Amino acid sequence: MTILSTILGLLAAALFAAAAALQHRVTRAVAQARGDTAGHWLPVLGFAARLLRDPVWLAGLGCNVLGFAAHASALHTGSIAIVQALLAVQLMFALPMAYTRTGRPPAARDWLGTAAVCAGLAVLVLARGGVAQTVRRGPLPAVLLAAVVLILVLLTLARSRPGRTARTALTGVAAGTGFSTTAVLTVVVADQLATRGPLTAALDWPVYALGLSGLVAAVLAQEAFGSGSLPAALTAMTVADPVLSWLWGALLFDEAPPASLAALWSLTLAGAAIAAGVALLAYSPTQRVAADATRAP
């Protein structure tokens, strides 16, 4: 894990945080104006054209594009498990954005959540930062199939759940699953571009799977934004993405999967600390006040 990949990962997290804040504001307002669509499959597709005409939503799209460029560069130079875990700090970047909108300084729980995320990331880097990475494409179809099945199960559960928070969380986990497979395919395509050139990459199926995966993940993220609060959607995505990315990365890219009891305990503690910190940040009063202050009429 290089300093450059860490900087790029943090830059991607900041850009994704800005994109989420901008796009949630618009998507949620449009979804509320259309009324409750519980039980429908991906209602966001019904008003996608409206989103594409909104300048605030398009500004969020621009942040997403820039964030993906930084994210792809970080994945090419660093470990997928650590780069994806760095995305958890996007909730930390959301705090100063919330402060600029409300004038309310971060609370004690915000700093505690920040400390938990940073501690978890530090443990993760120390535990897995020096593991050599390689690209094994053999298990890739099985990984993608498992992700597709998981997304379908989550969407089925979300469709049948009457509670708004449950629907938002399940859809957010589905979006996080999509983002984790997009990260995997980004690593594969970037490796192919570097070793075999653009022509070979363009003629191979992973580059098209990458485009499809990114599109599906983006649609699911907007669906999560439209169905409920930003904290519920962002927490689900921010926790599911690094957890699943670590699993896919261990199967596909780690030359030495964690086997010792100490390594497994370290990774478990790191994951628990990151998840706890994300939950504290996402459901902080600072974020809720900011969400209310920026809600469109």
Rounded CA-CA distance 251/257 in Å is 8
Indicate whether 64 pLDDT > 80: yes
- Output the CA–CA distances (angstroms, integers) from residue 70 to 8, 43, 112, 125, in the order listed: 5, 30, 28, 19
Residue 208's pLDDT band, with cuts at 50, 70 and 90, is very high
Q: Is 56 exposed, middle or buried, given 0-12, 13-18 or 19+ CB atoms closer than 10 A?
A: middle
Residue 294's pLDDT band, with cuts at 50, 70 and 90, is very low
Confidence at residue 297, expressed as pLDDT on a 0 to 100 scale: 41
Q: CB under 8 Å to 88, separation ≥6 — which residues?
A: 13, 117, 120, 121, 238, 239, 242, 274, 277, 278
Confidence at residue 176, expressed as pLDDT on a 0 to 100 scale: 92
Range of the domain at 168: 3-293
Domains: count for the chain: 1
Condensed to tens digits (0 to 9), the pLDDT of residues 130-150 reads 666 677 777 889 999 999 999
Condensed to tens digits (0 to 9), the pLDDT of residues 38-50 reads 556 777 888 888 8
